[in-house]
A = this chain, B = another copy of it.
Amino acid sequence: MTSTFPSPIADKSKNEEGAVFAPRFDASGLITAVVTDAGDGTLLMVAHMNEEALRLTLDTGIAHYWSRSRKALWKKGETSGNLQTITEIRTDCDQDAIWLKVKVAGDGPTCHTGRRSCFYRTISLGDGKAVLIKE
A91 and B20 within 8 A (CB): no
29 A-B contact pairs sorted by A residue (CB < 8 Å): A3-B128, A5-B130, A17-B113, A19-B131, A20-B131, A20-B132, A21-B123, A21-B130, A21-B131, A32-B46, A36-B43, A41-B41, A45-B92, A46-B92, A58-B123, A58-B130, A59-B128, A90-B123, A91-B123, A91-B132, A92-B118, A92-B119, A93-B111, A93-B112, A93-B113, A93-B115, A94-B118, A97-B119, A98-B123
The digit string for A38-72, where 1 denotes a CB below 8 A from any CB of B, is: 00010101100000000000110000000000000
- Cβ of A112: which chain B residues have Cβ within 8 Å of it? 93
Given contacts A18-B132, A32-B32, contact A89 B46 (CB under 8 A): no
